[in-house]
Chain A
């Protein structure tokens, strides 16, 4: 497993799961919060990656 995107998604899933269970109660709220966090993790990571693309280091 040496694909950075896959590793980032695995990291995002596990972290979002723990935070959703800490922050929310009830299956519906947790599920909704989990997907919001997961989407934010993945989307913002890709955006940050593109913003850093021109940097020379």
Chain B
């Protein structure tokens, strides 16, 4: 009668995961900061890249389309600065409409609050995505 080993299988070592060089890590992080999903695309993670690009892009577009406000980088108070920082995390999805003059915001609109939440969360999620890119590039996760 065979007996099974009671020992757990060895945990997957982080060193076993492939990592890329510093230059490619930097390029992936900067690319991800500019365009959501680009960092993953540079690392060959196409499924994640497509999901992040579409989801974050859709959130930013919905935020602008629903009368949300793109906060300008005028650093007029801590709250306005934090709102700008959160929205600017979406990269070009923030800067292109802002440069085009979109996202003026209409506080009387029925969807103004929702739209702003869409814009904030789009940027904040992209910050998480950049951290994910860094971890993948350094071989800390598959």
Answer whether A and B are interacting partners: yes
Scan B110-142; emit 1 where CB is below 8 A from any A CB, else 0: 110010011001000100110010000000011
Q: Are A22 and B55 in contact (CB under 8 A)?
A: no
Q: Are B48 and A14 in contact (CB under 8 A)?
A: no
* A-B contacts at CB below 8 angstroms, number: 43
**Which residues of chain B from 25 to 80 have a CB within 8 Å of any chain A CB?**
47-48, 51-52, 55-56, 58-59, 62, 66
Tier of interface size on chain B: 20 to 34
Q: Are B56 and A18 in contact (CB under 8 A)?
A: yes
Q: Are B132 and A10 in contact (CB under 8 A)?
A: no
Q: Does A7 contact B (CB under 8 A)?
A: yes
Interface residues of B (CB under 8 A from A): 47-48, 51-52, 55-56, 58-59, 62, 66, 110-111, 114, 117-118, 121, 125, 128-129, 132, 141-142
